[in-house]
Amino acid sequence: MKYCNSKHICVTPRGAGTGLSGGALPVYGGVVLGLQRMNSIVKVDTENFQAIVEPGVINEVLQQTVKEYGLFYPPDPASKGTCFIGGNIAHCSGGPRALKYGTTRDYVLNLEVVLPSGDIIWTGANTLKYASGYNLTHLIIGSEGTLGIVTKIVLKLIPFPTQNSLLLASFASPIDACRAVSSIFMGGCSPSVCEFIEPLAFRLAADYLQVAFETPETVQAYLLIEIDGNNGELIAKECENMYTILTEGNCLEVLLATTTSEKEHLWKLRRSMGEASKKSTVYKEEDTVVPRAQLPELFAGTKTIAARYGLRTVCYGHAGDGNLHINILKDEHSDAYWNHEVKEAIKEIFRLCISLGGTISGEHGIGLVQKEYLPLAVSEIQIDLMRNIKRCFDPNLILNPGKIF
Ligand code: 2HG
Ligand code: ZN
């Protein structure tokens, strides 16, 4: 870093490259700094419930390692079998279980960071509480590799929840499904996962995985809901309450996955929906997020806008967080249409999302592909503050240039 900084050579840090906003692309050339070889789990501290890892550790490898000690690292992006912890820090990654357990930000205590100058700092302390000046740890989390390169991560762990139930509720109306999401919480339930899924997403995933998954014509939306904990009776009681709420919310049927293989089958389908969409056609994936009671309006408005532009979309995502992934499918549209008119459709969807109290990215970040839309969501003053913070960390602007703003 010292050399590149002195020579004004761009450096783009890169983890596993599973990011969805082009954040690890070296758009100005220079050096791509691969972190895959910094892949050791330095320590699992079973007394303090902490893990110290390097950025190139795969998310699921960490989860499986700490599970052997009865501990849990909850953040579970769909790409958890491939993505690195370092990339999860860069984007403050979420995933289905963020609903109950929070996102990456909620588990990071301290970071060793190499600054563009080559100086090495720790941003916090290995403590569960921190109020010793500005929180530089949280400033680095979500900075998409533009402020510093994370070389060690101290994570908080929690006890592993030993039991869970997985429900699949089907609805004739996607609006009813979206409405049921806030009813579930207002009815006193606190699921660990509450995913909204359109049937097309299941069909694409089933084709991609070459497995069977029937989506009857009558079903126009699903909710995939998990309830977890350590007390089977309490979980069963909450499932009954959930069943009552879903039935009152016009659901057609509620299936309970009881065996591990049934649960794994559903999760495999859910987690491959992004890849399946990509495999079926060129697509633009959006990561809109609104207060969850506004999901019905976001979904309905999106479909109206897409129809007006003749665009097919497939929607799924973390409904409990109000975080809806809208995958816009290119299909047979021309490149010209795809690169111009479709951007107008995206702006309309983002304006709708913001008008509902939301913003343009809940977990995938801005990177390269959402940069042009950021001013829709944040003010010029906010962007100026971000620019000044960037200049403070990286006065020569060599680190991951061209991203976010
Ligand atoms: C998911 O929730 C990921 O599946 C990826 O955030 C979403 O690729 C996508 O659209
Ligand atoms: Zn997601």
- For the chain, the C-alpha Rg in angstroms (whole number) is 21
Atom of ligand 1 nearest to the CA of 20: 8
Distance 391 CA to ligand 2 centre (A): 31
Whole-structure pTM value: 0.97
Element (H, E) at 325: strand 323-329
- Of the ligands numbered here, which is closest to the C-alpha atom of 277? 1
113 exposure class (CB count in 10 Å sphere: 0-12, 13-18, 19+): buried
Is ligand 1 within 6 A of the CB of residue 298? no
Query: 45 near 177, Cβ under 8 Å?
Result: no
- Which residue do the tokens 């052997």 mark? 68
Percent of the chain predicted with pLDDT > 70: 100
Q: What angle do CA 228, 218, 304 make, to 5 degrees?
A: 90
Strand 11-14 and strand 31-34: pairing?
A: parallel
Distance 347 CA to ligand 2 centre (A): 20
Is ligand 1 within 6 A of the CB of residue 327? yes
Please measure the distance between the N-terminal and C-terminal CA atoms of the chain and give it in whole angstroms: 22
Query: 290 near 315, Cβ under 8 Å?
Result: no
Residue located nearest, by CA, to atom 3 of ligand 1: 78
Joined together, the tokens standing for residue 193 give 């996962």
Atom of ligand 1 nearest to the CA of 283: 10
Classify domain 281-365+372-377 by CATH number.
3.30.70.2740
**Confidence category of residue 258, pLDDT binned at 50, 70, 90:** confident
The type of residue at 91 is: H
Joined together, the tokens standing for residue 57 give 């550790």
Query: SS3 of 246, please?
Result: helix
Give 113-157 pLDDT, tens digit per residue. 999 999 999 999 999 999 999 999 999 999 999 999 999 999 999
Distance 315 CA to ligand 1 centre (A): 10
Atom of ligand 1 nearest to the CA of 363: 6
Q: Residue 158 forms beta bridges with which residues? A: 72
Model confidence at 97: pLDDT above 90: yes
Query: 86 near 150, Cβ under 8 Å?
Result: yes
Atom of ligand 1 nearest to the CA of 318: 2
Residue located nearest, by CA, to atom 8 of ligand 1: 274
Domain residue limits, the chain: 2-159, 163-273, 281-365+372-377
| CATH of the domain spanning 163-273, picked from 3.30.70.2190, 3.40.50.1970, 3.40.50.720, 3.40.50.300 | 3.30.70.2190
Give 280-329 pLDDT, tens digit per residue. 999 999 999 999 999 999 999 999 999 999 999 999 999 999 999 999 99
Architecture of the domain defined by 2-159: 2-Layer Sandwich (3.30)
* Closest CA relative to residue 292, chosen from 317, 328, 267: 317
Confidence at residue 375, expressed as pLDDT on a 0 to 100 scale: 98
The rounded distance, in Å, linking the Cα atoms of 178 and 196 is 7
- Which residue do the tokens 């970071």 mark? 111
Q: What are phi and psi of 174, to 5 degrees?
A: -65, -25
What integer is the mean pLDDT of 35-54?
Answer: 98
Residue located nearest, by CA, to atom 5 of ligand 1: 274
* Closest CA relative to residue 260, chosen from 168, 166, 170: 166
The rounded distance, in Å, linking the Cα atoms of 66 and 162 is 14
DSSP string, 183-217: HHHHTT---SEEEEE-HHHHHHHHHHHT------T
Give 23-43 pLDDT, tens digit per residue. 999 999 999 999 999 999 999
Strand intervals (E) in 260-318: 283-289, 312-318
Residue located nearest, by CA, to atom 7 of ligand 1: 274
Fold match flag (2-159 vs 163-273): no
Confidence at residue 75, expressed as pLDDT on a 0 to 100 scale: 98
**Confidence category of residue 203, pLDDT binned at 50, 70, 90:** very high
Q: What are phi and psi of 292, to 5 degrees?
A: -65, -25
